């Protein structure tokens, strides 16, 4: 997983990588050469008091060092560039993958986890790549160089080197193996810390109202403590690595001296080649130690890579068809044919065999009890979800055959949960239509009955809006959401209970102003108040996912018992239905 | 040349800034935080970070002792091993010499042959001619070394483990402190910044602090101690050569100082950008559907890419600039080596130092620069960690709510009085002015009025979510500012306009109203509020997990759950802020009964637009523009023919007439 991800994402940087390898080779070469010069200075210079020789060799040594410095500066340059570009590309690919997700996948991963994956997880892999850029070349070369040199000495001690390398390999491998599941937990628990804190931030008013600060703190403490627990566990394993490597290194030098001494005593080798052998052994083990640095990063990085790959390879359940039908322009005729829909994990469908048809200029109202499937119906038209059976057609084309981008380009939605983005009033209004002029904005605000309060806001159109729209009142937020949809000038409007936070007078004025504005579009309105929808061309009464009535206000009033009940519920016994 | 150009980070910061600019739309209140890209006080933050380790003094002391021990053993190891090597060497030479002769005789014989070098060498060795390697002695020495190394290894393991404990535990308390802080800051602080930005501080930044502390602390100790040890050894050989070698130290300081100066800003920017990016990601994922349906993907992606690019750019600069320390240090180290060699060579030549001492010294001076280089290159990790720490401290230092009073509320009756209250969200734009109101215990007060009139604000003030600018609010005769917030709020049950659920089962979400409620109580509350009805149709019933985004239940159902919550809490006073706005009217009518029961004998504030739900309130307040414009019961207000009358009539005004804002409804 890790390797695949890294390979895929590093592919565009082949040239840089090549450059990096070259620079690292220079680096390694210099590194291998320098000890020789070192020894040379002492043997032939210092010990003979030959200052001239020292100066000459010293000069050479400085030259080599300079080359090495340039090499490693270049390598640092390229390594950082590659690693950070890798991080950037990976983040972008996650962000885009999530952009394609539909509600189903969003629910499956959960926003908090997707957020951690986009930053924290990427960081882990990026760190490994950065490490790899500095060590991946150096360590193996030093190791191979060391092994070759050591074998050339033929001290009959190769088995010892082999043993040390195998012991190291096996034990490091074992530790890494144990660390992987632990790190999987670490990342999952970071998700949880993230989620709990995010909930605290979004629910802060409720939490304070119920004085549940203590409870939240303990919820968070549990999440944090759980995280710390696995971090300690994983830390204990990780902390074994270095001492282990050091000890194996030290023990094997002792071993070389002991067995080597026997070889010398038996006259198999010279004492000189034993010393040389020692040097190479140290070099091999040093490179193993460098590699250990990498190995310490691998478990967390591979878990992160796994989580990243999960996101990137998840196919969106709502996806553009391979050969989308692309009508020149959509008129906005919406039709549902025996549409049914069942949420993943649910026992029963929330919508059953829903049929309806609406044309531009028509207003279709949907009314029904809480949980009867009104919002779900709208989300089928907007293709946030796909029908499980039956079809949704726009201009006679199944929405599954349309390019979603094109479809969405013609839909303006006012969601039940009014949500604004941080920015300004204007940036929110222009959300669906970046080119809207200021007068367009004012016009939409006028229709949405939001002109007055926006004018009074500090800065008018440029007044700041906080994330979610928490700094305006609920009704104001709803009206801004309506205005946002109006600015987009879509063919199909979906108003999901968008007037619930409005007082009746405002509601009325708004609808009155809205009517001429949306005359050319197909309008769907979900509402609770009969007064909001009574003039609709067609009213659909939903009950438990089934259409139990369809017609005009008067028709329904005459023959649909559910509708009669609804109407009755809104007017006290003493009031006549106007 | 290229290196110089890249190494000059001067344009780096402005470039990062420039890249980041388009990301910030307008000048939201989010400006307050995460904008500053300059480190405020590096050493202060570093000290503060270390200060947080104070509770672990004992463990840290143990770690220090263990580190000293293992460093000492590791330094000692080669020395002892050297003895074994000498013995092996001597043995291997001795074995070649004729048996029975004395060493002196052999040396003399060699000199006689003019082989002075070999003679010198032999003279300095502990050779017995004719005797080979003594494996007993060698074995014993090697076993000692083995013991030393194993001990050092064990010490290292313990030390590393302890350090890991200290770091992880202190990160744990750091996270908890942030959470605790969130309970103390005013709401405006939390509203004012992107959630993802704050989240990044808790996850990414604290993670980074932990990682860098873990790596730097132990390295700092080991390398620091090694440097000291080596300096001591060098002094025992030649103090003036040591002085020469130590010239490297100021050079190190200058080099790292220079690099630090540049990389510091970059690290601060790096984590700032990470936070900003996290904020953008969080917001986009939260408004996921909207982004799609409004065709915003491209813009959102472009915005993301800008910040992402800025982050990548500043990260690689930070990495590169701080990565310069290593090569520069290596160069300095080699330079120093050559100088020491030259001077040492001169000493040997004029006979003022022995060859052995010079070679030993040269060896040490190598051992000296290596940890020094390590130390210098630790600096970047440290900086990155401190940059993150600074961001966390910024949150911890945010101004807090006004301190709590400690007066006691009398046993509840539920009298509420607003006395000449003035309030505005922004200091210079008053919203509520000179508002006075008396509510008798047990009364139901309905608040009506157009949106934005200040209804929610009014009840928020009663909950003391915000502080008054003037006047006071009394509950049972006690100024709410003088009692602890928790005492006040625990008396009031509130259903907020925005239904909030957390990730958990439906049962847990209802039980939030009263944590120790029994299953029966939960079910009773759920039945009364019609939650039970839809929960029955869910495959997992009350164990159905719902989440914050609200997938799993419809908006109206969410509202019912929050009502059930308040129902279960059974508070002394009640606030319902458009509690049933997303609930259909048939359910609402049925709910009325439960709500009426809930309100009886409790002071209640009810905000609603469907006037039918509030007709039987004891008092109805009509609010406009932050003022109470009318007050009275239903029939009084209808008779008065004012604002309430117009509001009331408007609900029967069904026909879509062309709106005229000045004439809301036909005259009576
Ligand atoms: N994301 C989801 N996953 C599973 N079930 C859901 C989801 N969203 C809604 N539901 C269920 O589907 C039913 C219809 O919901 P919805 O269409 O939102 O109702 P409403 O008519 O109130 O708008 C509800 O009973 C709810 O429990
Ligand atoms: N957190 C806030 N920050 C700044 N202004 C706010 C905030 N909340 C509400 N307002 C403003 O205060 C006024 C009253 O809002 P609110 O009390 O929510 O009205 P409502 O009567 O609809 O409940 C509105 O103009 C709104 O824009
Ligand atoms: Mg709904
Ligand atoms: Mg309100």
Q: Whose CA is nearest to atom 11 of ligand 1?
A: B553
Residue finishing a domain among A489, A512, A535: A489
Is B79 touching A (CB cutoff 8 A)? no
pLDDT of A563 > 70? The answer is: yes
Q: Is residue A206 part of a domain?
A: yes
Q: Residue A236: its pLDDT value, please?
A: 87
β-bridge mates for residue A540, sequence order: A366, A550
Contacts of A9 in chain B (CB under 8 A): none
Instruction: Based on the fold, state whether residues A59 and A83 are members of the same structural domain.
Output: yes
To which residue do tokens 């780096």 refer? B12
Sheet holding B444-448, edge to edge: B492-495, B573-577, B603-607, B444-448, B619-624, B627-632
- Asked which of B273-277, B336-340, B577-581 is least confident by mean pLDDT, the reply is B336-340
Instruction: Report, as an integer, the average pLDDT of A530-557.
Output: 88
Q: Whose CA is nearest to atom 5 of ligand 1?
A: B552
With a threshold of 0.90, tell me whether the complex ipTM lies above it. no
Q: Residue A84: its pLDDT value, please?
A: 92
Residue finishing a domain among A313, A345, A364: A313
Instruction: Based on the fold, state whether residues A351 and A472 are members of the same structural domain.
Output: no
CA-to-CA separations, A163 to A28, A247, A263, A412, B181, in angstroms, rounded = 25, 14, 18, 70, 55
With vertex at residue A318, the alpha carbon angle to CA A315 and CA A324, rounded to the nearest 5 degrees, is 105
Residue A422 C-alpha, separation from nearest chain B C-alpha, in angstroms = 7
The CATH H-level superfamily of B48-95+132-175+182-396 is ABC transporter type 1, transmembrane domain (1.20.1560.10)
Q: Is residue A495 part of a domain?
A: yes
CATH code, domain with A466: 3.40.50.300
Phi/psi for B429 (5° steps) reads -120, 90
pLDDT tens, B391-411?
999 999 988 888 877 888 787
pLDDT of A572 > 60? The answer is: no
In chain A, residues 480-519 whose CB comes closer than 8 Å to chain B: 484, 488, 497, 500-513, 515
Q: Is residue A322 part of a domain?
A: no
Identify whether the C-beta of residue A453 lies closer than 8 Å to the C-beta of residue A476.
yes
Nearest CA in chain B to A218: B176
**What is the atom index within ligand 2 of the atom nearest the CA of B497?**
23
Averaged confidence pLDDT in chain B: 81
Which has the higher per-residue pLDDT, B10 or A314?
Answer: A314
Q: Is residue A512 part of a domain?
A: yes
Q: Which of B199, B538, B586 sits opposite A569 (nearest CB)?
A: B586
Residue A340 C-alpha, separation from nearest chain B C-alpha, in angstroms = 17
**What is the atom index within ligand 2 of the atom nearest the CA of B577?**
23
Q: Residue B462: its pLDDT value, please?
A: 92
Instruction: Report, as an integer, the average pLDDT of A40-57.
Output: 74
Instruction: Based on the fold, state whether residues A395 and A475 are members of the same structural domain.
Output: no
Averaged confidence pLDDT in chain A: 85
Please judge whether A202 and B172 are an interchain contact, meaning their C-beta atoms are less than 8 angstroms apart. Answer: no
Q: Residue B396: its pLDDT value, please?
A: 92
The CATH H-level superfamily of B409-491+575-585+603-668 is P-loop containing nucleotide triphosphate hydrolases (3.40.50.300)
Instruction: Based on the fold, state whether residues A397 and A475 are members of the same structural domain.
Output: no
Judged by its nearest atom, the ligand closest to the C-alpha of residue B460 is 2
**A449 Cβ inside 6 Å of ligand 1:** no
pLDDT of B5 > 50? The answer is: no
Report the C-alpha gap between B515 and A219 in whole angstroms.
13
Q: Is residue A61 part of a domain?
A: yes
Instruction: Based on the fold, state whether residues A97 and A246 are members of the same structural domain.
Output: yes
pLDDT tens, A429-482?
998 888 889 999 999 999 999 998 899 888 889 998 988 888 898 889 999 999
**How far, in Å, from the CA of A476 to the mean position of ligand 2?**
8
Q: Residue B409: its pLDDT value, please?
A: 78
Is A472 touching B (CB cutoff 8 A)? yes
Report the C-alpha gap between B405 and B392 in whole angstroms.
28
Instruction: Based on the fold, state whether residues A375 and A524 are members of the same structural domain.
Output: yes
Q: Whose CA is nearest to atom 17 of ligand 2?
A: B454
Strand A546-551 and strand B416-423: pairing? Answer: unpaired
**How far, in Å, from the CA of A311 to the mean position of ligand 1?**
25
Q: Whose CA is nearest to atom 12 of ligand 1?
A: A350
Protein residues within 5 Å, CB atom, of ion ligand 4:
A 473-474; B 456, 497
Within a 13 Å sphere around the CA of A431, how many CA atoms are in the beta-carbon half? 28
Identify whether the C-beta of residue A512 lies closer than 8 Å to the C-beta of residue B656.
yes
Which has the higher per-residue pLDDT, A209 or A288?
Answer: A209
Please judge whether B344 and A197 are an interchain contact, meaning their C-beta atoms are less than 8 angstroms apart. Answer: no
pLDDT tens, A275-289?
777 777 777 777 777
Report the C-alpha gap between A61 and A56 in whole angstroms.
9
Task: List, in sequence order, every beta strand (DSSP E) within B385-431.
Answer: 416-423
Q: Whose CA is nearest to atom 2 of ligand 1?
A: B552
Please judge whether A106 and B551 are an interchain contact, meaning their C-beta atoms are less than 8 angstroms apart. Answer: yes
Instruction: Based on the fold, state whether residues A61 and A156 are members of the same structural domain.
Output: yes
Instruction: Based on the fold, state whether residues A495 and A378 are members of the same structural domain.
Output: yes
Interface test with B, best of A432, A467, A484, A560 (most B CBs within 10 A): A467
Quote the domain boundaries for residue A382. 328-410+491-578
Q: Residue B653: its pLDDT value, please?
A: 57
Which has the higher per-residue pLDDT, B8 or A508?
Answer: A508
Q: Kindly write down the DSSP assignment for every residue of A63-131, as one continuous string.
A: HHHHHHHHHHHHHHHHHHHHHHHHHHHHHHHHHHHHHH--HHHHHHH-HHHHHHIIIIIHHHHHHHHHH
> Burial letters for B274-287: b for 16+ Cβ neighbours within 10 Å, e otherwise?
bbbbbbbbbbbbbb
* Report for A333-337, A404-408, B662-666: range of highest mean pLDDT: A333-337
Phi/psi for B660 (5° steps) reads -130, 105
Instruction: Based on the fold, state whether residues A452 and A345 are members of the same structural domain.
Output: no
For chain B, percent of residues with pLDDT exceeding 90: 20
Q: Residue A576: its pLDDT value, please?
A: 37
Contacts of B589 in chain A (CB under 8 A): 569
Residue B105 C-alpha, separation from nearest chain A C-alpha, in angstroms = 24
Q: Whose CA is nearest to atom 5 of ligand 2?
A: A471
In chain A, residues 312-351 whose CB comes closer than 8 Å to chain B: 345-348
Asked if the B495-570 domain carries CATH number 3.30.930.10, the reply is no
Interface test with B, best of A86, A115, A319 (most B CBs within 10 A): A115
Please judge whether B338 and A228 are an interchain contact, meaning their C-beta atoms are less than 8 angstroms apart. Answer: no
Domain ranges of chain B: 48-95+132-175+182-396, 409-491+575-585+603-668, 495-570
Contacts of A58 in chain B (CB under 8 A): 337-338, 341-342
At B17, the pLDDT band (50, 70, 90 cuts) reads: very low
Please judge whether B278 and A119 are an interchain contact, meaning their C-beta atoms are less than 8 angstroms apart. Answer: yes
Which has the higher per-residue pLDDT, B17 or B349?
Answer: B349
**How far, in Å, from the CA of A476 to the mean position of ligand 4?**
9
User: Helix A271-313 and helix A213-265: axis angle, to 10°?
Assistant: 150
Structure tokens given for B501: 């659920």
Instruction: Based on the fold, state whether residues A89 and A135 are members of the same structural domain.
Output: yes
Q: Is residue A321 part of a domain?
A: no
Domain count, chain A: 3
Domain B409-491+575-585+603-668 matches domain B495-570 at the CATH topology level? yes
Contacts of A106 in chain B (CB under 8 A): 285, 288, 549, 551
In chain A, residues 149-188 whose CB comes closer than 8 Å to chain B: none
CATH code, domain with A109: 1.20.1560.10
Report the C-alpha gap between B390 and B400 in whole angstroms.
18
- Asked which of B14-23, B192-201, B280-289, B422-431 is least confident by mean pLDDT, the reply is B14-23
Residue finishing a domain among A489, A506, A535: A489
Instruction: Report, as an integer, the average pLDDT of B447-474.
Output: 90
Please judge whether B286 and A472 are an interchain contact, meaning their C-beta atoms are less than 8 angstroms apart. Answer: no
pLDDT of B13 > 60? The answer is: no
Instruction: Based on the fold, state whether residues A121 and A227 are members of the same structural domain.
Output: yes
- Please give the torsion angle defined by the CA atoms of residues B584, B586, B592 and B595, in that order, rounded to the nearest 10 degrees: -40
Structure tokens given for B486: 């928790």
Report the C-alpha gap between B490 and B479 in whole angstroms.
16
Q: Is residue A516 part of a domain?
A: yes
Instruction: Based on the fold, state whether residues A218 and A259 are members of the same structural domain.
Output: yes
pLDDT of A290 > 80? The answer is: no
Q: Whose CA is nearest to atom 25 of ligand 1?
A: A371
pLDDT tens, B301-332?
999 999 999 999 999 999 888 888 878 887 88
Q: Is residue A236 part of a domain?
A: yes
Q: Which of A34, A46, A478 sits opposite B362 (nearest CB)?
A: A46
Phi/psi for B578 (5° steps) reads 45, 50
pLDDT tens, B595-613?
888 888 889 999 988 777 7
């Amino acid at each position: 997983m890790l390797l695949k991800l890294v390979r895929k994402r590093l592919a565009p940087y082949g040239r840089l990588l090549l450059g990096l390898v070259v620079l690292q080779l220079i680096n390694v070469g210099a590194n291998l050469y320098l000890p020789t010069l070192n020894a040379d200075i002492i043997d032939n210079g210092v010990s003979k008091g030959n200052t001239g020789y020292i100066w000459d060799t010293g000069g050479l040594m400085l030259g080599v060092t300079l080359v090495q410095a340039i090499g490693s500066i270049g390598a640092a340059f390229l390594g950082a560039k590659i690693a950070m570009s890798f991080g950037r590309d990976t983040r972008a690919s996650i962000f885009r993958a999530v952009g394609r997700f539909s509600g189903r996948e969003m629910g499956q991963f959960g926003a908090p986890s997707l957020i951690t994956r986009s930053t924290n997880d990427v960081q882990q892999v990026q760190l490994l790549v950065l490490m790899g850029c500095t060590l991946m070349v150096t360590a193996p070369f030093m190791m191979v160089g060391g092994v070759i040199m050591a074998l050339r000495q033929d001290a009959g001690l190769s088995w010892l080197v082999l043993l040390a390398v195998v012991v190291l390999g096996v034990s490091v491998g074992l530790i890494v193996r144990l660390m992987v599941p632990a790190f999987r937990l670490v990342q999952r628990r970071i998700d949880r810390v993230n989620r709990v804190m995010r909930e605290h931030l979004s629910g802060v008013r409720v939490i304070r109202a119920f004085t549940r600060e203590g409870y939240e703190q303990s919820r968070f403490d549990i999440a944090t403590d759980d995280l710390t627990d696995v971090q300690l566990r994983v830390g204990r394993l990780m902390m074994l690595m270095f001492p282990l490597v050091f000890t194996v290194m030290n023990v094997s030098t002792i071993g070389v001296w002991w067995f080597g001494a026997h070889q010398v005593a038996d006259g198999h080798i010279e004492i000189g080649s034993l010393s040389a052998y020692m040097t190479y052994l140290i070099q091999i083990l040093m490179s193993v130690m460098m590699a250990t640095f990498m190995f310490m990063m691998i478990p967390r990085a591979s878990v992160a890579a796994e989580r990243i790959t999960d996101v990137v390879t998840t196919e969106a359940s709502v996806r553009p068809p391979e050969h989308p039908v692309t009508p020149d322009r959509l008129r906005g005729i919406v039709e549902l044919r025996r549409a049914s829909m069942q949420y993943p994990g649910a026992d029963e469908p929330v919508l059953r065999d829903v049929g309806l048809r609406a044309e531009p200029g028509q207003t279709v109202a949907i009314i029904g009890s809480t949980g009867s499937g009104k919002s779900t119906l709208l989300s089928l038209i907007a293709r946030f979800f796909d029908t499980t059976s039956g079809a949704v057609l726009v201009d006679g084309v199944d929405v599954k055959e349309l390019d979603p981008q094109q479809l969405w380009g013609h839909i303006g939605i006012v969601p039940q949960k009014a949500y604004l983005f941080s920015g300004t009033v204007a940036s929110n209004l222009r959300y669906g239509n970046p080119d809207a002029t200021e007068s367009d904005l004012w016009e939409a605000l006028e229709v949405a009955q939001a002109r007055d309060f926006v004018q009074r806001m500090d800065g008018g159109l440029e007044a700041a809006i906080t994330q979610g729209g928490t700094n305006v009142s609920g009704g104001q937020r709803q009206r801004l959401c309506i205005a946002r949809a109006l600015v987009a000038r879509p063919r199909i409007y979906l108003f999901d209970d968008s007037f619930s936070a409005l007082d009746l007078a405002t509601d009325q004025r708004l609808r009155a102003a809205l009517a001429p504005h949306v005359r050319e579009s197909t309008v769907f309105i979900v509402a609770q108040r009969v007064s909001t929808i009574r003039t609709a061309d067609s009213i659909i009464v939903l009950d438990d996912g089934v259409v139990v009535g369809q017609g005009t206000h008067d028709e329904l009033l005459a023959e649909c018992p559910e509708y009669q009940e609804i109407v009755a519920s809104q007017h006290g016994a003493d009031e006549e239905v106007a | 040349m290229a290196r110089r150009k890249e190494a000059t980070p001067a344009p780096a910061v402005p470039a990062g800034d420039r890249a980041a600019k388009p990301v910030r739309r307008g000048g939201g209140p989010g400006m307050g935080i995460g904008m500053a890209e300059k480190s405020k006080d590096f050493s202060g933050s570093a000290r503060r970070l270390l200060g947080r380790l104070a509770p672990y003094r004992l463990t840290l002391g143990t770690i220090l002792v263990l580190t000293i021990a293992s460093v000492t053993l590791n330094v000692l190891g080669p020395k002892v091993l050297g003895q074994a090597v000498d013995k092996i060497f001597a043995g291997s030479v001795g074995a070649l010499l004729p048996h029975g002769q004395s060493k002196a005789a052999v040396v003399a014989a060699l000199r006689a042959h003019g082989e002075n070098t070999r003679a010198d060498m032999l003279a300095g060795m502990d050779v017995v001619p004719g005797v080979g390697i003594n494996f007993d002695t060698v074995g014993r020495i090697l076993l000692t070394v083995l013991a030393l190394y194993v001990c050092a290894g064990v010490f290292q393991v313990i030390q590393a483990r302890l350090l890991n404990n200290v770091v992880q535990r202190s990160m744990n308390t750091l996270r908890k402190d942030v959470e605790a802080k969130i309970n103390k800051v005013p709401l405006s602080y939390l509203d004012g910044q992107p959630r993802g930005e704050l989240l990044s501080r808790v996850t990414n930044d604290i993670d980074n602090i932990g990682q860098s502390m873990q790596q730097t602390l132990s390295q700092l100790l080991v390398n620091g101690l090694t440097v000291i040890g080596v300096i001591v050894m060098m002094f025992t050989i030649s103090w003036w050569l040591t002085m020469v070698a130590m010239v490297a130290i100021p050079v190190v300081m200058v080099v790292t100082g220079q690099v630090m100066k540049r990389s510091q800003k970059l690290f601060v920017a790096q984590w700032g950008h990470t936070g900003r990016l996290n904020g953008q990601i969080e917001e986009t994922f939260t408004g996921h559907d909207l982004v799609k349906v409004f065709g915003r993907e491209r813009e959102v992606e472009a915005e993301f890419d800008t910040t992402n690019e800025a982050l990548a750019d500043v990260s690689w600069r930070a990495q590169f600039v701080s990565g310069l320390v290593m090569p520069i240090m290596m160069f300095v180290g080699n330079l120093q080596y050559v100088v020491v060699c030259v001077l040492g060579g001169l000493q040997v030549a004029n006979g003022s130092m022995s060859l052995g001492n010079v070679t030993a010294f040269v060896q040490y001076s190598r051992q000296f620069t290596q940890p020094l280089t390590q130390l210098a290159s630790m600096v970047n990790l440290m900086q990155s960690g401190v940059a993150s720490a600074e961001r966390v401290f910024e949150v911890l230092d945010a101004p807090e709510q006004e301190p709590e009073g400690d007066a006691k509320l009398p046993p509840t009756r539920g009298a509420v009085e607003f006395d000449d209250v003035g309030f505005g969200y922004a200091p210079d734009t008053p919203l509520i002015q000179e508002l006075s109101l008396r509510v008798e215990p047990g009364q139901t007060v309905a608040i009506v009025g157009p949106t934005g009139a200040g209804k929610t604000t009014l009840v928020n003030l009663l909950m003391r979510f915000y502080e008054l600018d003037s006047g006071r609010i009394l509950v049972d005769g006690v100024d709410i500012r003088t009692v602890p917030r928790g005492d006040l709020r625990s008396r009031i049950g509130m259903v907020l306009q925005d239904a909030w659920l957390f990730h958990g089962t439906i049962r847990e979400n209802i039980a939030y109203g009263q944590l120790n409620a029994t299953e029966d109580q939960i079910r009773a509350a759920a039945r009364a509020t019609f939650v039970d009805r839809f929960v029955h149709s869910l495959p997992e019933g009350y164990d159905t997990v719902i989440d914050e985004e609200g997938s799993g239940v419809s908006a109206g159902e969410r509202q019912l759950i929050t009502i059930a919550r308040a129902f279960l809490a059974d508070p002394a006073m009640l606030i319902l802020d458009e509690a049933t706005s997303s609930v259909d009217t048939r359910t609402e009518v049925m709910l009325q009964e439960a709500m009426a029961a809930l309100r009886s004998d409790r002071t209640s504030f009810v905000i609603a637009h469907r006037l039918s739900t509030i007709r039987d309130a004891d008092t109805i307040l009509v609010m406009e523009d932050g003022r109470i414009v009318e007050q009275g019961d239903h029939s009084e207000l209808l008779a008065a023919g004012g604002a309430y009358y117009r509001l009331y009539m408007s609900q029967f005004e069904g026909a879509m007439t062309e709106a005229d804002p000045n004439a809301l409804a036909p005259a009576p």
